[in-house]
Homo-oligomer: A and B are copies of this chain.
Amino acid sequence: MAIELKDLTKSEDNYSQWYNDLVVKAGLAENSAVRGCMVIKPYGYAIWEKMQAALDGMFKATGHQNAYFPLFIPKSFFSREAHHVEGFAKECAVVTHYRLKNDPEGKGVVVDPDAKLEEELIVRPTSETIIWNTYKNWIQSYRDLPILCNQWANVVRWEMRTRLFLRTAEFLWQEGHTAHATREEAIEEAMKMVHVYEDFAQNWMALPVVVGHKSPNERFAGAEDTLTIEALMQDGKALQSGTSHFLGQNFAKAFDVQYVNKEGKQEYVWATSWGVSTRLMGALIMAHSDNNGLVLPPKLAPIQVVLVPIYKGDEQLADMRSRLNRIADELRAKGLSVKVDDRDNVRSGFKFAEYELKGVPVRLAMGPRDVENGTIELARRDTLTKETVPQEGLAERCAALMDEIQKNIFQKALTYRNSMITKVDTWDEFVETLNTKGGFISAHWDGTVETEVAIKDATKATIRCIPLDAEDEDGKCIFSGKPSKRRVLFARSY
Contacts and interface: CB of A to CB of B under 8 A. Distances in A.
Interface of A: 1-2, 30, 32-34, 37-42, 45-46, 48-49, 65-79, 85, 89-102, 108-109, 111, 120-123, 130, 133-134, 137-140, 143-144, 147, 149, 153-154, 156, 158, 170, 172, 345
A116 to B, nearest CB: 10
Given A97-B96, A123-B95, A67 B40 contact: yes
A39 B67 contact: yes
Provide the main secondary structure of the chain A interface: mixed
Q: Which of A76, A77, A109, A138 has the most CB of B within 10 A?
A: A109
Contacts of A45: 65-68
A134 B34 CA distance: 11
Given A76-B108, A99-B91, A109-B79, A40 B68 contact: yes
Nearest to A149: B42
B67 A133 contact: no
Contacts of A75: 100, 108-109, 111
**What number of copies of this chain does the assembly contain?**
2
Q: Which 5 A-B pairs have the closest CB atoms?
A: A79-B108, A37-B70, A42-B65, A40-B68, A89-B100
A134 B41 CA distance: 10
Given A33-B134, A98-B158, 4 more contacts: A42-B66, A71-B156, A79-B109, A92-B98
A256 to B, nearest CB: 13
Contacts of A42: 65-67, 149
Contacts of A39: 67-70, 134
B32 A69 contact: yes
A70 B120 contact: no
6 contacts: A1-B138, A30-B134, A33-B133, A34-B74, A42-B67, A71-B170
Given A76-B108, A130-B32, A133-B33, A100 B122 contact: yes
A49 B66 contact: yes
